[in-house]
Amino acid sequence: MTPEQKLNSLGLSLPEMPKPVANYVSYKRCGDMLYLSGQGPRRNDGTMHVGKVGKDVTTKQAYEHARLVALGLLAAMKQAAGDLAKVEVIKVLGMVNATPEFGDHPAVINGCSDLFVEVLGDRGRHARSAVGMGSLPMHISVEIEAICRIHP
């Protein structure tokens, strides 16, 4: 199965990429490296999941939010590479909008890592940090950025 077929078999489809509203871009290619801007958990209607994980949002809910972010990152990878089978995920920075007492960031960012591996197989396995931010744009619960490699 291609990554696109795997997405299909999971009942998932890639969202449309929103246009950045400022002087930056959703991704930047540099040789065979691909740098993806941080994305949030955007629903299909364009609204975002918000709230502090550990207070307004449970770890389980935030796992689903991270999975939704991963879908948006896959959409950016697809647009940049044409074909998801060419994409290898190298490094993920998973940022959780958490309370100061929260400690379960890996369980949240697994939502992203799991989808990458489900869809891309071994090429979805990456180095990663999963950490807690003091705040995030528009109060989103999770933001994730990634560095990928595009194979020929």
Q: State the residues that interact with its own copies by CB under 8 A.
A: 21-28, 30, 33, 35-38, 52, 54, 88, 90-93, 95-96, 98-106, 110, 113-114, 116-117, 124-139, 143, 145, 147, 149
Query: Shortest Cβ distance from residue 95 to its own copies (Å)?
Result: 6
Residue 137 three-state SS? helix
Token pair of 73 as six digits: 């990152």
Query: Shortest Cβ distance from residue 138 to its own copies (Å)?
Result: 5
**In Å, what is the CA distance from 57 to each residue of 60, 102, 108, 115?**
8, 11, 11, 20
From the list 149, 150, 145, 54, the residue with the least C-alpha distance to 108 is: 54
Asked if 53 and 62 count as a contact pair (C-beta separation under 8 A), the reply is yes
Which residue's CB is nearer to its own copies, number 1 or number 127?
127
Query: Shortest Cβ distance from residue 79 to its own copies (Å)?
Result: 13
Which residue's CB is nearer to its own copies, number 14 or number 102?
102
Query: Shortest Cβ distance from residue 151 to its own copies (Å)?
Result: 11
Query: What amino acid occupies position 124?
Result: G
